[in-house]
């Protein structure tokens, strides 16, 4: 499946998930394998994108896609460039996030696993002190399997990436 859509990868890696408007399209398993240059503008009402790693000369990225009813983490791979030199991405996996409660948000930068170093971690966190975050749920990126895998949240530590 190939669709000419584009997203510019930016270094944003934190998404505050709050309700604001309705979304006409849903992230569904049918997006798996989608090759795109630009995502449909109505797909995510809030989006956070980041580069998450490289394996055997393959570059991987992620999207945290916020929708009215739920939010998702998409793992994707850079598969080439368009004739106008825009990145072409392929969606490899979609992980639906549990409903977030008040003050909870999804974070990727500033998280690490206490036992296994060099993992890219996504976590749902809640502030408990100005510089302290409680990890509610966490996932690691498995670039070999090209998907997220849940990890024990008690073994993940996340720090506030910027002052509130």
Give me the half-sphere count of Cα atoms (radius 13 Å) on the Cβ side of residue 32: 10
pLDDT value of position 40 = 81
Burial 10-33 (b: 16+ CB within 10 A, else e): eeebbbebeeeeebeeebeeebee
| 154 has pLDDT over 50 | yes
* Contact indicator for 96, 89 with CB cutoff of 8 Å: no
Q: How many residues does the chain have?
A: 164
Q: Global pTM?
A: 0.77
Strand partners, 6: 38
Say how far apart CA 35 and CA 2 lie, in whole Å. Answer: 5
> pLDDT value at position 135?
96
Instruction: Work out the burial of residue 95: count CB atoms within 10 Å of its CB; fewer than 13 is exposed, 13-18 middle, 19 or more buried.
Output: middle
Give the pLDDT confidence score for residue 22 in this predicted structure. 31
The pLDDT mean for the chain works out to 80
Domain boundaries, the chain: 20-96, 105-158
What is the reported pLDDT for 162? 61
What pLDDT, on a 0 to 100 scale, did the predictor assign at position 25?
Answer: 57
Q: Please report how many Cα atoms fall inside a 13 Å half-sphere around the Cα of residue 105, on the Cβ side.
A: 21
- The per-residue pLDDT for range 91-148, each reduced to its tens digit, is 999 999 998 888 999 988 889 999 998 889 999 999 988 778 999 999 999 999 999 9
Sign of CA dihedral 145, 43, 18, 10: positive
The residue assigned the tokens 């393959």 is 58
Q: What is the pLDDT of residue 137?
A: 96
- pLDDT at residue number 11: 29
Least confident of 19-23, 43-47, 120-124: 19-23
In the predicted model, is pLDDT for residue 45 greater than 70? yes
């Amino acid at each position: 499946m190939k669709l000419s859509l584009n997203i510019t990868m930016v270094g944003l890696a934190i998404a505050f998930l709050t309700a604001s408007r309705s979304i006409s399209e849903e992230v569904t398993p049918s997006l798996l394998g989608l090759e795109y240059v630009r995502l449909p503008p109505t797909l995510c009402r809030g989006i956070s994108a980041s580069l998450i790693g490289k394996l055997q000369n393959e570059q991987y990225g992620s999207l945290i896609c916020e929708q009215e009813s739920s939010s998702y983490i998409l793992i994707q791979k850079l598969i080439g460039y368009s004739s106008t030199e825009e990145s072409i991405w392929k969606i490899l996996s979609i992980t639906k996030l549990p409903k977030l409660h008040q003050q909870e948000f999804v974070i990727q930068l500033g998280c690490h696993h206490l036992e296994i170093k060099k993992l890219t971690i996504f976590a749902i966190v809640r502030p408990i002190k100005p510089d302290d975050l409680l990890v509610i749920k966490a996932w690691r990126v498995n670039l070999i399997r090209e998907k997220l895998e849940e990890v024990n949240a008690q073994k993940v530590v996340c720090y506030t990436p910027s002052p509130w």
